[in-house]
Structure 1
Amino acid sequence: FTSCCPGWVKFVESYFPDMLPHVSSCKSPQGMFGGILKTYWAEKNNIDPKKIVSVSIMPCTAKKFEISRADMEAAGEGIPDVDISLTTRELARLIRLAGIDFRSLPDEKFDDPLGQYTGAGVIFGVTGGVMEAALRTAVWTLTGKNDSSPIEFKEIRGFDGVKEATYNVAGTDVNICVASGTANAKKVMEMVKSGEKKYHFIEIMACPGG
């Protein structure tokens, strides 16, 4: 199971704790970035992580809960990976309150201390995006091919609540499932536990559509 959605992680912790060993140990994107910021980046720039304030802008309110988790302290106990998590709506309100007009601001280069993201990073937040990013990586890693005719993952795109597909990757059939919305997550979990469905990889996001 994927682990990038804190709402889903809390859901499985609460209702299907016996399945936790099958959940990825990866943090969410904000958790990964915050952790790297206060460990690798802080060390590289000789900055005390306690003096860094990490603010994330997220569309999801569950990210606010996530930053308070004890396992979100990569730099040490009492040093949260992310200090403040704002929703995109809250950011828009702050911009409006401050009277900032982006159209009148001069252009500037953006910071890229860790380099630029890949195309997979663009689709990560939508349902099926994490799965497609992982499948692209698996194909490239196992076959060494990333040419102009890659495997298309059309079956896992779109906003259906539950999507299934089987792809042949380096000679192995991989059964995957993508679900969004906790009601659909519950259905998938129950089918897996009963043995009705067998998947190699499952992506779940708590919000419908990702």
Structure 2
Amino acid sequence: MNDDLRHQGMRKKLATGLKIKGIRNEKVLQAIEQVPRHLFMESSFINFAYKDQAFPIGAGQTISQPYTVAFQTQLLQVSKNDKILEVGTGSGYQAAVLLEMGAKVFTIERQKELYQKAQSFLPEIGYHPACFFGDGYKGLPHFAPFDRILVTAGAPSVPEDLKYQLKIDGRLVVPVGTEKRQEMTVIIRISENEFKTEKHGGFVFVPLLKGTVNS
């Protein structure tokens, strides 16, 4: 799997562009510079890998635009060794960014095709999250609590199960709204039953769906 100086230069240029667009967390920018995004994409899209755009990855899903990945990651406020639940593995790119930042990543995917692909592919390029096939709305209660939870699809409301899988002072980042537009929402767990909500602007994600898809 080729990751040459040209690719590395394109990532550096991408990170510089993200900084201009408002991403200020240096650890996030460094992770974007390190993760070979082109390896996560279909070969026909490789020439577009370092453009700030989303692209299809199969099963009706997309690899998120780099700015969106960086924005969500910045909102998470990741520290090294944080235990993070990612809801919606997709291509595995976001998980790789979190791992690059030193997090311990648990990632869940409802599409078996994408789950199997990410589970086999990520270790091949040096990333080792704990991958699960399941319903993201339910999270991973057996592995809770988590320092951080990241949802990479748009939910009509904040999933209640996920809120209660946060540690106290933990942060949940989730796009909330209609299928056409969601508000990037941060939920901070203040105490056992008290949560603080922040809103951080509009985005468009594929919908967060319940259940699993085996084919």
TM-score by length of 1: 0.29
- Which structure has greater strand proportion? 2
Query: Which has the bigger relative contact order, CA under 8 A and spacing at least 6?
Result: 1
Question: Which structure: greater helix fraction?
Answer: 1
